[in-house]
Chain A
Amino acid sequence: MNQKVLEAVNISKYFHDPTTVQVLKDINFSLNKGEFVSITGKSGCGKSTLLYILSTMDTDYSGDLLIDGVSMKQKKEKELAFVRNEKIGFVFQFHYLLNEFSVLKNVALPGLNLGKLSQKEVEDKAYEKLKILGIEKEAYKKPNQLSGGQKQRVAIARALINDPIIIMGDEPTGNLDKKNSQIVFDIFKELSEVFNQTLLIVTHDNDFALNTNRIIEMEDGKIL
């Protein structure tokens, strides 16, 4: 039986500024464990908005969101932070690495915050993740000493550190050239096939989308 990792139930969202607009209209879908799914659609159709809701960062919506079978609707800010820490890995278009820390520490931070392993264990694990992404050599550099593609791979390693049940990405290859995009895509593919990782990636890149297990197409706040 397929295990539902994430489920959106009748999710709607309105923006009220400057005029009230409904950006998401009754979104219903679910993701099974190990699925590699892409979301596509025209600019402004609500993909990012949906992803922010699914990642629990945006709580201003109607409908319900179930992660690992648990409703997020009633949870407090602190509990949602814990869910993001433990169960969700997020990769943005921009890498958001902290230049004050080494690459390794950047990857380790969410793991240290989770606090299930000792500092040493988390750092070993962070090193393993960097190895999977082929950038373990850069572990002790500062993020601003890396190339754009390398930074994005560090960001993916950071998303992986707590072995989340789902990885979400909002155009993670959006800032990268063709070659680096291909590398990132291959990494996602490998995570999906080798590690049975569930992935939900928003993309504009048709080739990228076509190579995923399933494409969710959006138009005007609705899923087609």
Chain B
Amino acid sequence: MKALEIRNLQKTYKNGHVALKGIDLTINQGEFFALLGPNGAGKSTTIGIICSLVNKSGGSVSVFGNDIVTMSAKAKSSLGIVPQEINFSQFETCLEIVLNQGGYYGVNRKLAHERAEKYLNKLGLWEKRNDVSRTLSGGLKRRLMIARAMIHEPKMLILDEPTAGVDVELRRSMWNFLTEINSRGITILLTTHYLEEAECLCRNIAIIDGGMIIENTTMKQLLSKLNRETLVLDLTTTIDGIPEIDGYPIRKIDPHTIEVDITRQQGINHLFELLTENNIRVCSMRNKSSRLEELFINLLENNNRD
């Protein structure tokens, strides 16, 4: 079953800006899908169209087989939305916000109360249920939007940068929450700027840039495309000059630290043999940036060159 099917989706805003140039995207039921892209790539526009907040200019979108225009009620009922920007009333309490959202989906008051308690608890907001929303911290506001999106227990959850501006601890607990509901069969589509987040959570990934999908694959395959990485090596001994080792470009950061570029074919065993021969002892090693980050930057560079 396809949870989401997007065909040749186009959007031109009223000011003439072309935000989507015909994108195709398919997400199967149960997937945990990441949509990545730089600022202004068209992520929020895509999500806006899926959840009926933005009018499309062309193409089609269907959610669990229901076209968002002709079968909008069915399509909407199966979606839960966590938008990029805060969009609840600043004067209502957390509980009111979640309960009202349940009401809009036709969830009766009693059931809505049970679920509100369940999800506000899970997201650490139950204690604050009677607090007026504007008094919450930024991270808690984001969690409130997740609780709100779960009130009708949708089959698919769409989150637009849910962890932007959220501290590490809250982010981890949000990840746990999302992983848990995904394991219960809820399809998830997530946009993020934290590549680490996509790498850690998602099995499938699409990269959007300039209103076009430039990559759409599994996380595994994508990472396997990464041909070159940069390693940072911390040394036990200090070095004076830059050691010259055939085939491995080395840069010296400080007398204790060097950077080495290696390709997939070379592997690291050989590098270490050569380092040992040159009397360079390594005490620790790490990737300069996350592997996905490097890949991402490579992809965007290639896309802009084309």
Chain A bound to chain B: no
Q: What residues make up the interface of B, taking CB atoms closer than 8 Å to A? A: none
Residues of A within 8 A of B (CB): none
